[in-house]
Amino acid sequence: MIFTQYYLDCLSQASYLVGDEGTGRAVVIDPRRDVGEYVADAKAAGLTIEMVIETHFHADFLSGHLELAHQTGAEIGYSSVATPEFDFRPLGNGERLVLGEVVLEFRHTPGHTPESLSIVVWEHAEDPEPYGVLTGDTLFIGDVGRPDLLTSIGFNRDDLAGQLYDSLHTQILTLPDSTRVYPGHGAGSACGKNLSTDTWSTIGDQRVTNYAIAAPDRPTFIELVTEGQPAAPAYFAYDASLNKQNRDLHDETVAPVSLTLSQVDQLVADGAVLVDSRDADAFSQGHLRGSINVGLAGRYAEYAGSVVSPHDDVILVTEPGGELESKNRLARIGFDRVIGHLADPYGVMEANPERTTTASRVTASQLDDCLADIEGLQLVDVRQPGEVALGTIEGAREIPVGQIPTRLDELDPNRPTIVFCAGGYRSAVAASVLRVNGFDDVSDLIGGYGAWGLVHPG
């Protein structure tokens, strides 16, 4: 058996290539949208990708099933209860796919979504125990899939949570303790609230360490998994819908076109949004007025998708050579309206100082001085509620970064404002959004609440 896990840190997302070395037959599970790596790896291993299998309609990223099927001729497989708008192979509960010695068994595991399925992997058909199970968003390491993401389209979260309990106890936990667990996501994903940094585990370990699995009964489980979930990024509903559609294909090899400053000005006047993907330090030292800063080195797509609409035309400002990666990472969440990038951004800013500005950032010690000396200072904590519950800075207003664009009226643009998060990445995003929306005196806290805690231990 050839078994490869691909883990995408920026989205905390896992995909898989499973193949039979003897027959050369292979499948890819839950691929990201830039699919070149799967195609190259399969070719290098002498494998033919025959099917692209989706464990469910994903909300946190736009899957690459259409791109991979287009490039390889593979079928697309979903649970037989799924209803995509394109041709697919329905996979029944208990159905098996024989690749050769390697066998895949499909188990319907509704709960996170109605069409969720998990895939039991047998290295040899005659093995007494399976090699592992690919659980999608049904079972994570340390957590389970959240059942509340579909409430906006009419589903009841408690009903889905009950289905999730049943799926886990009748389809997943019936597997031997030695069975490896390979989930769809890890720590940092908004698809759960307690995901581990580990990218795989075993059924036996999860029986002992997973808080949701340890729930003594169905009502307790439902209560545990429905409370305290993080606010979902704004683009989740868009991606969940788009993953069902027969949409346009993405070409990961084509870089966005270069634009002059005058072209950028015209496009911005027509409604385009400037997204600067340089890191917060570079952005703070100089950037074009009106830019939103979402650093490429962090969870770029997730937070860009939290503060920019998928229907906005986007112009990128990047470090030289970063244009294609910035575009492709936005495409991973279905943000395809990248209409170009500013050519030679540093040269443009140097030649047009009147068009550039800096961004204020403060250290934890400087924040102490600000709190003591600045009357009417507005302090904004942009972390998730679960983070805030563990401690915050006295007097801070709590608005998760993804809610900043829709909750601007809760803040006073005329008051001096300091924004903070856990480590400084999200606060830089939020501060730039506030500036674009007319807040003239905005700073973000370097190092975030973590740095504050070092100055104020205990």
The CATH number corresponding to 2-242 among 3.40.640.10, 3.40.50.2300, 2.60.40.10, 3.60.15.10 equals 3.60.15.10
Q: What is the structure's pLDDT at 240?
A: 94
Tell me the average pLDDT across 289-300. Answer: 96
Q: In the predicted model, what is the mean pLDDT of residues 258-284?
A: 98
Q: State phi, psi for 354 to the nearest 5 degrees.
A: -70, -15
Q: Do 252 and 36 contact (CB within 8 A), yes or no?
A: yes
Class of domain 258-357: alpha beta
The CATH H-level superfamily of 360-455 is: Rhodanese-like domain (3.40.250.10)
- What is the gyration radius of the CA atoms in the chain, in angstroms? 23
pLDDT in tens, 102-138: 999 999 999 999 999 999 999 999 999 999 999 999 9
Residues of the chain with CATH 3.40.250.10: 258-357, 360-455
Q: Give me the chain's average pLDDT, please.
A: 96
**Residue 44, class by beta-carbon neighbours within 10 Å (0-12 exposed, 13-18 middle, 19+ buried)?**
exposed
Q: pLDDT per residue over 39-96, tens digit each?
A: 999 999 999 999 999 999 999 999 999 999 999 999 999 999 999 999 999 999 999 9
Which pair of structure tokens corresponds to residue 105? 């068994």
DSSP label at residue 202 = E
Q: How many Å apart are CA 98 and CA 124, to the nearest integer?
A: 10
User: Does pLDDT of 370 surpass 80?
Assistant: yes
Distance CA 197, CA 189 (A): 10
Write down the residue that tokens 């990038």 correspond to.
Answer: 341
φ, ψ of residue 221 to 5 degrees: the values are: -60, -50
pTM score, two decimals? Answer: 0.94
Report pLDDT for 77: 98
Given this model, what pLDDT does residue 231 score? 80
Burial class of residue 94 in the structure, from the number of CB atoms within 10 Å of its CB (0-12 exposed, 13-18 middle, 19+ buried): exposed
pLDDT at 228 over 90: no
Number of CB atoms found within 10 A of residue 201's CB: 21
pLDDT of amino acid 206: 98
Q: Is 427 left (phi over 0), alpha (psi -120 to 50) or beta?
A: alpha
For 6-39, the pLDDT digits (tens) are 999 999 999 999 999 999 999 999 999 999 999 9
E strands of 184-294, at which residues? 201-202, 258-259, 273-276, 287-288, 291-293
Q: Which residue spans of the chain are classified as CATH 3.60.15.10?
A: 2-242
pLDDT more than 90, % of the chain: 94
